[in-house]
């Protein structure tokens, strides 16, 4: 972790959460929370590892690689828009852009790149952007999350934090109600996963979806489950939420794409 | 006279049974009470464990009204409860809550 | 001037009296009742928009508004009225939730050893 690039408050928030879960789950290593609910349920973790041996998302990584390497009409390509030509960089996304004072997710950066090169942006709910970001995540596997909260980013970070801890929807649940207060308990047959580790493995192949999807699709699904009207993918509120959640994963290993129930 | 009393008692009993059965359906319905997501209830498959098991409810809530209040808006007793405010947020209608209370009180 | 006041009072009292009466099946009463339901639907829609702007809208509000409209179109004024009233109540509750949460969300931060130390 590049310590001084993270504002003191943000680092304290992350350390408080790590301490909270270390106390609640003394037998679970910090790094294991990157496996979500599987870190808390050995029987399900075994089945999950067997699926990961022959993962259903593999064709999408290949498709993402093909799209990533397809030149734009002006002859340029995605590689020219990113540091290290876009390979092994996802652990630094989302990042705060001091010029626009906005959180830039990897999806947003991909579309910026297209627009800079005269291409039309991809739909945030479509397959192409999921495939491209899945490939980019794949090339970043094993890297440790290192998201900075520079001066000027506090407002975006705090908005994401407020979202996480605020109750929403007719059923009146905050993200933290289930994934902090009730983490480790069963909601019907499912064990509720911990807050830390929620942003490491995207895009994810969810068995419920039968396809890969990004973290904003999961946000929307969660919001709808508690009876709230979902916000748009890549809306400012969702980008700020992803920013907060990923800062909370600083120091964890990126393990996307992955499968989840 | 005795016969009449018996039949009145029987129909009252049938009526109560009907309400308890309706309340049970509301409790088990995922789009209504969905109580099993969080609570253990006798006869439930894969109940959750986020909330306390629903046992000895008649003893724990001798006053039916206190149980109704708890279901209507549990945050009045505990602001940080995880239980949805079924009445205050209109998740169930007042009639549905009455039926649900009839069922839960039998547990 | 006096005439104008009289007309105004009549105009105000008229529909209220009719919508408050037990029998709402006379043609005039039906029109007035329809109008009051339309008002409730309209208010629910405005509150729903307000909740949307706060990123705090509930799905049930939208469902109930369209249910009220459908029932209205089918001539079920009472059903439309019930759905519209529930839509309005849910929209108001969602706005209250937004206000309440903006005040209390910090209470949910994890209570850890470090944060418990400071007194």
pLDDT tens figures, A71-94: 999 999 999 999 999 999 999 999
C-alpha to C-alpha distance for A51 and B71, rounded to whole angstroms: 41
Contact (CB<8Å) B50/A186: yes
Q: Are the CB atoms for C20 and C48 separated by under 8 Å?
A: no
Pick the range with the lowest mean pLDDT from A6-20, B79-93, C79-93, C104-118: C104-118
Interface test with A, best of C94, C109, C113 (most A CBs within 10 A): C109
Residues C96-101: contacts with CB under 8 Å, at least 24 apart: C97/A167, C97/A168, C97/A172, C97/C56, C98/C51, C98/C54, C98/C55, C98/C56, C101/A166, C101/A167, C101/A168, C101/A174
Q: Are the CB atoms for A204 and A36 separated by under 8 Å?
A: no
Q: Are the CB atoms for C88 and C40 separated by under 8 Å?
A: yes
The average pLDDT across A176-183 equals: 95
Three-state SS letters, A93-159 = CCEEECCCCEEECHHHHHHHHHHHCCCCCCCCCCHHHHHHHHHHHHCCCCCECCCCECCCCHHHHHH
Site of tokens 């409790």: B27
pLDDT tens figures, B27-43: 999 999 999 999 999 88
Q: Name the burial class of residue A146, with classes exposed (0-12), middle (13-18) and buried (19+) by CB atoms within 10 angstroms of its CB.
A: middle
C-alpha to C-alpha distance for A161 and A168, rounded to whole angstroms: 14
Residue C84 lies in a domain: yes
pLDDT of residue A210: 93
Domain boundaries in chain B?
Answer: 2-104
Q: Look at strands A258-260 and A204-206 and give their pairing.
A: parallel
Chain A environment of B84 (Cβ under 8 Å): 170-173
Residue C16 lies in a domain: no
pLDDT tens figures, A127-156: 999 999 999 999 999 999 999 999 999 999
- Torsions phi, psi of A187, nearest 5? -105, 105
Kindly provide the ipTM of the predicted complex, given to two decimals: 0.90
Which of C55, C101, C112 minimises the CB distance to A20? C112
Q: Are the CB atoms for B69 and B76 separated by under 8 Å?
A: yes
Instruction: Using the predicted structure, report yes or no on whether residue A231 has a pLDDT greater than 70.
Output: yes
Q: Look at strands A190-191 and A258-260 and give their pairing.
A: unpaired
pLDDT of residue B106: 93
Could you tell me which CATH class the domain B2-104 is placed in? mainly alpha
Instruction: Using the predicted structure, report yes or no on whether residue B89 has a pLDDT greater than 60.
Output: yes
Which of A170, A174, A237 minimises the CB distance to C108? A174
Which candidate in A113, A175, A178, A222 is catalytic?
A222
Chains near C with 3+ CB pairs less than 8 A apart are A, B
Q: Are the CB atoms for A226 and A118 separated by under 8 Å?
A: no
pLDDT band for position A189 (cuts 50, 70, 90): confident
Nearest C-alpha in C relative to B92: C86
pLDDT of residue B3: 47
Domains in chain C, number: 1
Mean of pLDDT over chain A:
94
Residue B7 to chain C, least CA–CA distance (Å): 37
Which of C93, C107, C108 minimises the CB distance to B90? C93
Instruction: Using the predicted structure, report yes or no on whether residue A205 has a pLDDT greater than 50.
Output: yes
Chain A environment of B37 (Cβ under 8 Å): 187-188
Top-confidence residue, C14 or B24? B24
Site of tokens 């852009």: A97
Q: Find residue A149's DSSP bridge partners.
A: A6
Tell me which residues of chain C have a pLDDT lower than 70. 1-32, 112-119
pLDDT of residue A40: 87
C-alpha to C-alpha distance for B52 and B33, rounded to whole angstroms: 15
pLDDT of residue C27: 41
pLDDT of residue A5: 63
Residue C4 lies in a domain: no
Top-confidence residue, C91 or A260? C91
User: Which positions 37-76 of C are in contact with A (Cβ < 8 Å)?
Assistant: 52, 55-60, 62
C-alpha to C-alpha distance for A142 and C119, rounded to whole angstroms: 41
pLDDT of residue A52: 85
Residue C73 lies in a domain: yes
List of residues 6+ apart from A11 with CB closer than 8 A: A3
pLDDT of residue C112: 64
Residue C91 lies in a domain: yes
Residue B9 to chain A, least CA–CA distance (Å): 39
Please count the residue pairs, one from chain A and one from chain B, whose beta carbons lie less than 8 angstroms apart. 37
Rounded to 5°, the CA angle C35-C39-C44 comes to 150
Chain C environment of A180 (Cβ under 8 Å): 108, 110
Nearest C-alpha in A relative to B86: A171
pLDDT of residue A49: 87
Top-confidence residue, B102 or C116? B102
Instruction: Using the predicted structure, report yes or no on whether residue B82 has a pLDDT greater than 60.
Output: yes
Beta strands in chain C (DSSP E): none
Residue C24 lies in a domain: no
Chain C environment of A177 (Cβ under 8 Å): 108
Is the minimum CB–CB distance between C90 and chain A shorter than 8 Å?
A: yes
Select, from the ranges A46-50, A214-218, C113-117, the one with the highest average predicted confidence (pLDDT): A214-218
Instruction: Using the predicted structure, report yes or no on whether residue A64 has a pLDDT greater than 60.
Output: yes
Residue A210 to chain C, least CA–CA distance (Å): 25
């Amino acid at each position: 972790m590049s310590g001084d690039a993270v504002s003191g408050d943000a680092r304290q928030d992350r350390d408080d959460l790590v301490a909270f879960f270390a106390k609640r789950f003394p037998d679970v290593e910090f790094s294991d929370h990157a496996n979500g609910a599987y870190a808390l349920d050995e029987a399900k973790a075994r089945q999950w590892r067997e699926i990961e041996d022959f993962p259903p998302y593999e064709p999408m990584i290949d498709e993402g690689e093909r799209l990533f390497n397809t030149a734009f009409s002006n002859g340029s390509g995605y590689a020219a828009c990113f540091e290290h030509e876009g390979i092994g960089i996802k652990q630094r996304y989302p990042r705060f852009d001091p010029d626009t004072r906005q959180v830039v997710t990897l999806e947003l950066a991909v579309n910026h790149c297209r627009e800079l090169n005269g291409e039309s942006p991809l739909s945030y709910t479509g397959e192409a952007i999921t495939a491209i970001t899945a490939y980019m995540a794949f090339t970043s596997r094993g890297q440790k999350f290192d998201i900075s909260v520079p001066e000027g980013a506090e407002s975006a970070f705090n908005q994401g934090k407020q979202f996480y801890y605020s109750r929403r929807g007719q059923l009146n649940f905050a993200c933290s109600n289930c994934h902090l207060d009730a983490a480790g308990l069963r909601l019907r047959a499912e064990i509720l996963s911990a807050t830390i580790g929620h942003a490491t493995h995207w895009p994810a192949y969810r068995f419920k979806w039968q396809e890969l999807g990004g973290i904003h699709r999961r946000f929307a699904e969660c919001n709808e489950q508690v009876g709230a009207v979902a916000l748009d993918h890549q809306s400012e509120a969702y980008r700020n939420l992803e920013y907060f959640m990923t800062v909370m994963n600083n120091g964890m290993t990126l393990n996307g794409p992955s499968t989840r129930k | 006279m005795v016969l009449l009393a018996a039949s009145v008692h029987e129909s009252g009993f049938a009526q109560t049974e009907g309400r308890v059965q309706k309340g049970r359906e509301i409790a088990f319905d995922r789009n209504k009470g969905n109580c099993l997501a969080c609570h253990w209830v006798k006869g439930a498959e894969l109940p959750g464990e986020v909330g306390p098991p629903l046992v000895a409810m008649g003893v724990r809530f001798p006053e039916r009204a206190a149980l109704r209040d708890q279901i209507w808006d549990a945050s009045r007793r505990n602001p940080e409860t995880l239980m949805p405010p079924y009445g205050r947020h209109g998740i169930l209608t007042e009639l549905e809550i009455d039926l649900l209370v009839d069922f839960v009180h039998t547990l | 001037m006096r005439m104008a006041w009289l007309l105004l009072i009549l105009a105000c009292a008229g529909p209220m009296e009719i919508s408050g009466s037990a029998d709402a099946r006379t043609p005039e009463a039906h029109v007035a009742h329809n109008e009051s339901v339309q008002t409730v639907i309209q208010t629910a829609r405005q509150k729903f928009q307000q909740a949307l702007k706060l990123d705090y809208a509930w799905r049930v509000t939208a469902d109930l508004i369209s249910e009220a409209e459908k029932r209205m179109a089918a001539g079920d004024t009472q059903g439309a009225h019930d759905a519209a009233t529930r839509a309005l109540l849910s929209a108001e509750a969602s706005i209250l939730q937004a206000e309440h949460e903006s005040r209390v969300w910090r209470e949910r931060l994890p209570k850890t050893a470090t944060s418990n130390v400071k007194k």
